[in-house]
A and B are shown apart, each in its own frame.
Chain A
Amino acid sequence: RKEVEQDPGPFNVPEGATVAFNCTYSNSASQSFFWYRQDCRKEPKLLMSVYSSGNEDGRFTAQLNRASQYISLLIRDSKLSDSATYLCVVTTSGTYKYIFGTGTRLKVLA
């Protein structure tokens, strides 16, 4: 089983739609979780951290389910500018190393 798994997509959605991505991780000792956004041939940029209680930042909501070892990202009211690849990132206790998923590609269509 891969350490961090994501559906590669692409998810093609119309503007204004709500879209959700999931990510599963294999190591139960995983400690910190993030969603990053990556535009084509650019660096990953931190979108949001994922907290145990769930957290929201504007149109973006992240959830963590430790029992089932998955995290999710919900994007409401999709904009054309949301088109990108969304990377799930996991770290484990005692290390600063990021483990990346392969990313989920989102295309928001006009």
Chain B
Amino acid sequence: DIVMTQSPDSLAVSLGERATINCKSSQSVLYSSNNKNYLAWYQQKPGQPPKLLIYWASTRESGVPDRFSGSGSGTDFTLTINSLQAEDVAVYYCQQYYNTAPYTFGQGTKLEIK
């Protein structure tokens, strides 16, 4: 199975500043036939289910603010949150959906306000 490792485990960022969360896969999740990275990002607030933010590594889900962006390719990916808002406090997860199941998640990154 592909192992997803996020860094850091937690971070604190000031309001209005940028937050950067990294995700590394144990093998490439880039499909050469279509040049797509099989990588998604989720946000989970306390007591709520996960919310899809980004898929195909950089495609923003409908309704997600444009301060959220995804980048990277192959094995290294980044979720960037610009101009951090109070409502962005949450745990963020990456997930790979390359090849066949199981589609593994990273361990999560807890984002707090400094």
Q: Do A and B bind each other?
A: no
Interface set of B (CB-CB < 8 Å, partner A): none
